[in-house]
Structure 1
């Protein structure tokens, strides 16, 4: 018996040693695997937290005008901008030990397993907030072992590399609340019409219950189930010590106002402008398309919604429905270059082609102010005269001839001033000026004004036969309005990333290109199109608008067989309108020829309502002289018509008009009809004669 016992003891010892040895091997393997996983997680570093987020576009007053997403509306907000009640409600119901565990709540896992075993079914979950966040970020919701193991690994990486508050913020911004609302900010706006930071305890406890079953617990689909879930959450918050019994009762009794509508559902305003902004983000800021559409950007634009709505209204009102005429419209602040309104066509859904930016059309006579500015630089003045008559020009090759025609083939058949030639849009005067200066001068001048389109050095260039875009012309005219500084059209003021970092901010520049004195002279010359004092063999081109304007405007209209333009400005605002057929069909109906002027004048008048009327400032170094507009000489008391005209100091005329004197009558010079800039010397220089 002793031998048997000894043998059994040795056998048992062997088995025990084997178990210990195997246990040590298993433990060693476990620790090896565990530390390998930890080491691998460390090597991989923090997993990226990027999720698709809606990019939103805002007007200059901060109102949202549109957004881009893939059906998942999500606006990221920092934890500090989320209601503390919502944070506490979420922790209480989803993961009450969130701040204590390291990603896995083992007690909760054990409890869930026991509950499942008793029920012989999956009745209780044990996923922590970190696990759910890992699933939302990187995985599908398939219930497979592979997905669960991958989820555990990502959970470990998140806990190793991010703080609890960073994980909680990410979770609250990615969880689904139903009806296309991802994250607390979108859900708060959808269900209650307010930001996440403004939620009351009643609203927060209601919202926190939805993610468990967005369609099942939504207060919009089943109020009874939603209220029951809310009560469960309030009880959990009370148990956790976040609120007391009285607060729980008050929250449960709170009357909630449900909205059930995304604030951006009806948006998509200024679609042509938004397209232009997206192109700016892509090609100027070099952002990739995914970042633009799903990067959660906040794009602060220059759009003025009042002007935008007004522009769209004027296009609809003044271009008749039965016409196939299209339009391009731009309004700009001439000092900053900020684009305030943009219309790229009559119907974006029918044609997203942006005629304000993409179309290149002949500008007609709207090119003449650039030509006459160049002429001023070369010694011309507003009173420089040339003969307006039917003229055939023989070009340098001696063979080619060119015969420009005035509108309706009307000519003065006498000399007229440059100021009047601009006001009545005399084509012969323009071509003569162009050829006198040299055909390369207008090409070079157009480049200085920011026109990038290729210009042909031909006599007809003076009549606007080389194509330009509406936005380029609005920018060019802005240089007159702001005293000669080039301002590039600006669509975007600032761009912020999803976490509020400023990734782009426009820096205002303003390179002086034009001589301020000559810009002032041109401003006054361009008011002539509205001034009947400059009527001659033809009426000024703005004569149909003079009864509608209530303030000083400068501008120029233009037309070709296929294009109709009106560009004009005040010191505060420039707007440019083009109308025509997309396929270049001739504009033959008289009412269609008037569309551009009608849109322009009505827009400008309404856009300036409530804004004090101001004259164009004259630059230092300019002088105003009353001129007889018929001959360009200094007007006298005998002249029936006289017009104040500005010149660069030293270039004003010296000869007085004598055409209106009776035989033997003495010349009566005006007492003081020359307006000079005030003496701006400091007081001490005046006193001491310095």
Structure 2
């Protein structure tokens, strides 16, 4: 039996702990009082502006509208309270009984699965905190709840909650949800409709009647039973609501402006401000973006005109200003409401032949010129590991003769590309890709020449932008400035001085070679790859198309805009319809022509480069007697010397037996 002294010591210890707890609670409440009322401007949606300062939309979309409690059907408020916080009007922001029960259950389970958040706490979380379940966030949530309850009425808190809670499908607030699900304002909801909506915020995907009617109905019935048990409704009301057949809105929601762009801008703003996306979305911020609304509309229209909305086919596109990195247009998919997954940024797909320009830049660094010839023929490559690699050209067509680099690019010859990749070597190829800003993992294999390592649309489009601007590194961005609700500037983008990462002369020469896909002078054993859209183009562009069994790409640029388009199926379904493989080029051509402002695209030629008429077949100089002629560009001292039309051609072949050409021919003659 414990002595009296020991018992007194225990009592003192317990009393001390209780006093410390009371003192701690008083200190918390005193601190909350001294800090004053938390700012409720955070309940406002972020507002987006385009590059002209015009409002695009707010982060809740056009359907969002703040409504007072008087304009919400009472049954919707009652249903929300009974399922989310039945003692809302009886506590001071924290329900200590629920907290104690939740703490014990979470301690036993070793998780944070069971919550005890009151409506005040949830409102605080919506306004100021991230949705991540951590102990620190829970403590912050409780402190904000105390401050809210201390300075605002229950009605103000409840009204704020009802207008900011998320109901899924892009609907924030009861008014937006009521219109989205039932096509009516919140003050016209029936008991059955109100109880159905009240169940959704617990899990907007799991309990949405549009996603899982069984889950939603079970939760609705739970809510109605609790309303009956709490004598909020009668037996007759309960029975009528249970049996009411709900008619969900069948109309397609109004398409929000630049939805994919806005989502990405929110992510960028959140990263800049070091906040959660939801905090920025609900924080009343003014986000001034790089969006060109005209370009955005044209890109969306081009995709919609080309791809049947009933098809499962998806498309993504992005436009970047090469000189600055501004993202001026973005499409992440065909229908944002069906899928908000941004395929322009988050998806990685095999780029096919659109990856070849990176290879050919490396080739220019290692002695190639526009006139370098290699034989295009069916070839089986014996690799260093003893394996065999046998690529093929589209439809099995080959020149069965030497072709120039200019023709190889324009016709997208795969044999020429693989031979070049083997000559360049995997390390130099991948190093060149890094210069272009490619950060995705690349496999050092010969097939990399044919684009077998996956990259994103934004990544490859930005790589082409470095060619368009003469070889400078720029970083794509969407946010120009961020201000708070009062107009105070929180961030302003500082233009970066683009570091030269590519040789200016080689970037220009490669650009001129990439204009060849639209130049039918380069037709050979097959047509140039841009022949099917050439009649749509009235200006000069550089670019490259690419196809795999599952992907269709077109990436190209003018001096002022770089645009990449991808088309394919999300499930990597094979594109068996030949027409589908051309959709990316059609979208790209349609869009680029619509945004082309003056019709006078000119790529500036740097010093140290010469242009002269060249026979695209032989790669030798051309004059009036040659069958074909195209202006080709070379670094001074590497241009061809002989002509295509007489016996000087053979003599010329011997005279230019230099490292930039002869070594290549001899190397391939020995190996293949």
Instruction: Report the TM-score when normalising by structure 1.
Output: 0.61
CA distance in 1, matches of 2:525, 2:438: 32
Question: Highest Rg: 1 or 2?
Answer: 1
Structure 1 pair 526–289 and aligned structure 2 pair: CA distance change class (3 A): closer
| 1:29 alignment partner in structure 2 | none
The 5 Å alignment of 1:269-348 reads: 269-348=257-336
| 2:52 alignment partner in structure 1 | 61
Q: What's the CA shift for 1:599? A: 0.7
The 5 Å alignment of 1:490-501 reads: 490-501=477-488
| 1:44 alignment partner in structure 2 | 34
Q: What's the CA shift for 1:442? A: 1.7
CA distance in 1, matches of 2:148, 2:280: 29
Structure 1 pair 356–370 and aligned structure 2 pair: CA distance change class (3 A): same
CA distance in 2, matches of 1:69, 1:450: 34
Q: What's the CA shift for 1:154? A: 5.8
- Tell whether the 8 Å contact from 2:267 to 2:277 is kept in structure 1 after alignment: no
CA distance in 1, matches of 2:371, 2:586: 31
Q: 2:553 aligns with which of 544, 552, 565?
A: 565
Q: What's the CA shift for 1:334? A: 1.4
CA distance in 1, matches of 2:272, 2:392: 43
* Unmatched 5+ stretches in structure 1: 1-35, 75-136, 139-149, 156-172, 182-214, 216-264, 663-690
- Tell whether the 8 Å contact from 1:53 to 1:73 is kept in structure 2 after alignment: no
| 2:582 alignment partner in structure 1 | 594
Structure 1 pair 661–301 and aligned structure 2 pair: CA distance change class (3 A): same
Structure 1 pair 290–342 and aligned structure 2 pair: CA distance change class (3 A): closer
CA deviations on 1:201-243 (whole Å, 9 max, x unpaired) are xxxxxxxxxxxxxx9xxxxxxxxxxxxxxxxxxxxxxxxxxxx
The 5 Å alignment of 1:117-196 reads: none
The 5 Å alignment of 1:222-621 reads: 268-397=256-385, 399-509=386-496, 510-608=498-596, 610-621=597-608
Q: What's the CA shift for 1:290? A: 4.7
Q: What's the CA shift for 1:41? A: 8.9
Structure 1 pair 642–152 and aligned structure 2 pair: CA distance change class (3 A): closer
CA distance in 1, matches of 2:148, 2:359: 70
CA distance in 1, matches of 2:281, 2:601: 43
CA distance in 1, matches of 2:581, 2:398: 22
Q: What's the CA shift for 1:285? A: 4.0
Q: What's the CA shift for 1:653? A: 1.5
CA distance in 1, matches of 2:358, 2:390: 22
Structure 1 pair 660–317 and aligned structure 2 pair: CA distance change class (3 A): farther
Structure 1 pair 343–49 and aligned structure 2 pair: CA distance change class (3 A): closer
* Unmatched 5+ stretches in structure 2: 1-25, 67-126, 129-146, 165-186, 188-252, 650-672
CA distance in 2, matches of 1:285, 1:323: 39
- Tell whether the 8 Å contact from 2:38 to 2:148 is kept in structure 1 after alignment: no
CA distance in 2, matches of 1:280, 1:455: 26
CA distance in 1, matches of 2:410, 2:478: 33
Structure 1 pair 275–543 and aligned structure 2 pair: CA distance change class (3 A): same
| 1:670 alignment partner in structure 2 | none
CA deviations on 1:457-501 (whole Å, 9 max, x unpaired) are 111000000001111111011011111111111111111122222
CA deviations on 1:344-383 (whole Å, 9 max, x unpaired) are 1111111111111111100000001110011111111111
- Tell whether the 8 Å contact from 2:50 to 2:289 is kept in structure 1 after alignment: yes
| 2:140 alignment partner in structure 1 | none
Aligned CA-pair RMSD: 3.3
Structure 1 pair 289–561 and aligned structure 2 pair: CA distance change class (3 A): closer
Aligned length: 453
CA distance in 1, matches of 2:273, 2:323: 23
CA deviations on 1:401-444 (whole Å, 9 max, x unpaired) are 00110011111111111111000000000000000011122212
Structure 1 pair 408–501 and aligned structure 2 pair: CA distance change class (3 A): same
- Tell whether the 8 Å contact from 1:417 to 1:630 is kept in structure 2 after alignment: yes
Structure 1 pair 660–331 and aligned structure 2 pair: CA distance change class (3 A): farther
- Tell whether the 8 Å contact from 1:367 to 1:464 is kept in structure 2 after alignment: yes
- Tell whether the 8 Å contact from 1:365 to 1:558 is kept in structure 2 after alignment: yes
Q: 2:627 aligns with which of 640, 658, 666?
A: 640
- Tell whether the 8 Å contact from 2:355 to 2:449 is kept in structure 1 after alignment: yes
Q: What's the CA shift for 1:50? A: 4.8
Structure 1 pair 630–154 and aligned structure 2 pair: CA distance change class (3 A): closer
Q: What's the CA shift for 1:641? A: 1.5
Q: What's the CA shift for 1:588? A: 1.0
CA deviations on 1:143-177 (whole Å, 9 max, x unpaired) are xxxxxxx999969xxxxxxxxxxxxxxxxx99x99
CA distance in 2, matches of 1:63, 1:41: 42
CA distance in 2, matches of 1:622, 1:290: 52
| 1:113 alignment partner in structure 2 | none
| 1:649 alignment partner in structure 2 | 636
CA distance in 2, matches of 1:642, 1:612: 24
- Tell whether the 8 Å contact from 2:551 to 2:567 is kept in structure 1 after alignment: yes
CA distance in 1, matches of 2:471, 2:31: 61
Q: What's the CA shift for 1:65? A: 1.9
